[in-house]
Structure 1
Amino acid sequence: MKAFKAIALAGVFGMFATAGALAEDATDPIKIITNNWTSQLVLSNVVGQVLQSKGYNIEYKSSDTQLQYTALAAGDMDFQVEVWEGSQAESFDKAVAAGALDLGAHEAVTREDWWYPSYMNEMCPGLPDWKALNACAAKLATAETGTKGRFVGPPADWGKHYSERIQALKMDFQEVPVGQAATLWAELQAAYDRKEPVVLFNWTPNFIEAKFEGQFVEFPTYEPGCFTDPKWGSNPDAIYDCGAPAKGYLKKAGSKQLGEKWPMATEILKKVNFSNPQIAAAAAMVDVDGMTPEDAAKKWIETNPDSVKAWLQ
Structure 2
Amino acid sequence: MKLKHILSVAALSVGASATYAADSQDPVVIPIHNWSSQIVMSNAVGQMMEEAGLFVEYVTTDSQAVYESIRLGDVTLELEVWEGAFGASFRAAMEKGGIVDVGDHNAVTREDWWYPMWTKDACPGLPDWEALNDCAEVFATPETGDKGRYLDGPVDWLKHGKERVEALDMDFVVINAGSAAALWAEIGSAEADKRPVVVFNWTPNFAEAVWPGEFVEFPAWEDGCDKDPAVGPNPDALYDCGNPANGYLKKAAWDGMQDKWPTGYCLLEQVNFTNPQIAQMAKLVDTDDLEPQDAAAEWLDANSDVWQPWVETCTG
Please report the TM-score for the alignment, with normalisation by the length of structure 2.
0.91
| Separation (CA, whole Å) in 1 of partners of 2:82 and 2:224 | 19
Alpha-carbon distance, 1:21 to partner: 5.7
Which residue of the partner structure matches residue 136 of structure 2? 137
Which residue of the partner structure matches residue 74 of structure 1? 72
Which residue of the partner structure matches residue 9 of structure 1? none
Conserved 8 A contact 1:102-1:251: yes
1:26 has 2:24 as partner: yes
| Separation (CA, whole Å) in 1 of partners of 2:200 and 2:45 | 27
Which residue of the partner structure matches residue 257 of structure 2? 258
- For residue 96 of structure 1, the aligned residue among 94, 97, 106 is 94
Alpha-carbon distance, 1:185 to partner: 0.2
The SS at the match of 2:250 is strand
Matches within 5 A, 1:16-165: 22-97=20-95, 98-165=97-164
Which residue of the partner structure matches residue 8 of structure 1? none
How many residues align? The count is 296
Alpha-carbon distance, 1:70 to partner: 1.1
The SS at the match of 1:89 is helix
| Separation (CA, whole Å) in 1 of partners of 2:181 and 2:264 | 33
| Separation (CA, whole Å) in 2 of partners of 1:137 and 1:310 | 51
After superposition, the CA RMSD in angstroms is: 1.5
Conserved 8 A contact 1:32-1:78: yes
Alpha-carbon distance, 1:294 to partner: 0.7
AA of the residue aligned to 2:269 = K
**What are the Cα deviations for residues 29-64 of structure 1, in whole angstroms up to 9, with x where unaligned?**
110011000000100000001111122111001111
| Separation (CA, whole Å) in 1 of partners of 2:309 and 2:92 | 31
Which residue of the partner structure matches residue 245 of structure 2? 246
Alpha-carbon distance, 1:292 to partner: 0.9
The SS at the match of 1:70 is helix
AA of the residue aligned to 1:172 = D
Alpha-carbon distance, 1:232 to partner: 1.9
AA of the residue aligned to 1:76 = D
Conserved 8 A contact 1:153-1:177: yes
Alpha-carbon distance, 1:310 to partner: 2.8
The SS at the match of 1:226 is coil
Conserved 8 A contact 2:222-2:232: no
1:287 has 2:282 as partner: no
Alpha-carbon distance, 1:306 to partner: 1.7
Please report the TM-score for the alignment, with normalisation by the length of structure 1.
0.92
Conserved 8 A contact 1:271-1:310: no
Alpha-carbon distance, 1:260 to partner: 2.2
Conserved 8 A contact 2:79-2:250: yes
Conserved 8 A contact 2:52-2:263: no
Conserved 8 A contact 1:74-1:256: no
Conserved 8 A contact 1:127-1:133: yes
The SS at the match of 1:194 is coil
Which residue of the partner structure matches residue 305 of structure 2? 306
| Separation (CA, whole Å) in 2 of partners of 1:284 and 1:194 | 24
Query: Identity rate of aligned residues, in percent?
Result: 51
AA of the residue aligned to 1:36 = N
| Separation (CA, whole Å) in 2 of partners of 1:227 and 1:270 | 30
| Separation (CA, whole Å) in 2 of partners of 1:264 and 1:96 | 23
AA of the residue aligned to 1:51 = M
| Separation (CA, whole Å) in 1 of partners of 2:219 and 2:129 | 8
AA of the residue aligned to 2:266 = E
Which residue of the partner structure matches residue 5 of structure 1? none
Structure 2 gaps of 5+ residues are 1-15
AA of the residue aligned to 1:292 = E
| Separation (CA, whole Å) in 1 of partners of 2:206 and 2:49 | 26
Poorly superposed stretches of 4+, deviation over 3 Å: none
Conserved 8 A contact 1:65-1:159: no
The SS at the match of 1:103 is strand
AA of the residue aligned to 1:90 = A
Conserved 8 A contact 2:229-2:236: yes
Structure 1 gaps of 5+ residues are 1-16
AA of the residue aligned to 2:84 = G
The SS at the match of 2:276 is helix
Conserved 8 A contact 1:34-1:60: yes
Conserved 8 A contact 1:46-1:298: yes
| Separation (CA, whole Å) in 2 of partners of 1:233 and 1:79 | 34
Matches within 5 A, 1:208-227: 208-227=207-226
